[in-house]
Amino acid sequence: MSDLKTSIAPMLSVRHGARAVAFYRLAFGAQELFRMDDASGAVVAQLAVGDAQFWVADESPQHANFSPESLHGSTTRMILTVEDPAAVFEQAVAAGATVVSPVQKGHGWLLGRCLDPFGHHWEIGKPLD
């Protein structure tokens, strides 16, 4: 019997995958769990922030995988739940993210929203007790 647990992890399509991996490491302290670089410089990487995993890959139009830059928007927002949203938010902004809305209380959450340099929106927060 396998110890593999069922999970769902988003894969973010980006331009400049190697730069995106470096950004997520700096912005969120992401750890690389898996990485594959091809001869063209394209990257596919599995990352984790704590126990939360996600993937990053260079866009590949031939496989219908487009970055937000190509789509002029994104169909996904990432929600990162952490103990200290303000600190993680400021770390992301210092790494190059753009503030969409600052960390503030509302609707039972302490939450802020930023846009990473690759076009993905990140909501960083935690539920209020």
3-state secondary structure the chain: CCCCCCCCCCEEEECCHHHHHHHHHHHHCCEEEEEEECCCCCEEEEEEECCEEEEEEECEHHHCECCHHHHCCCCCEEEEECCCHHHHHHHHHHHCCEEEEEEEEECCEEEEEEECCCCCEEEEEEECC
* Segment 97-110, tens digit of pLDDT: 999 999 999 999 99
* Residues of the chain below pLDDT 70: 1
At residue 11, what is the residue type?
A: M
Q: What is the pLDDT of residue 62?
A: 93
Give this prediction's pTM.
0.92
Residue ranges per domain, the chain? 11-127
Does the domain at 11-127 match CATH 3.10.20.30? Answer given as no
* Segment 67-87, tens digit of pLDDT: 999 999 998 899 999 999 999
Alpha carbons 22 and 18: distance in angstroms, whole number? 6
Q: What is the pLDDT of residue 1?
A: 63
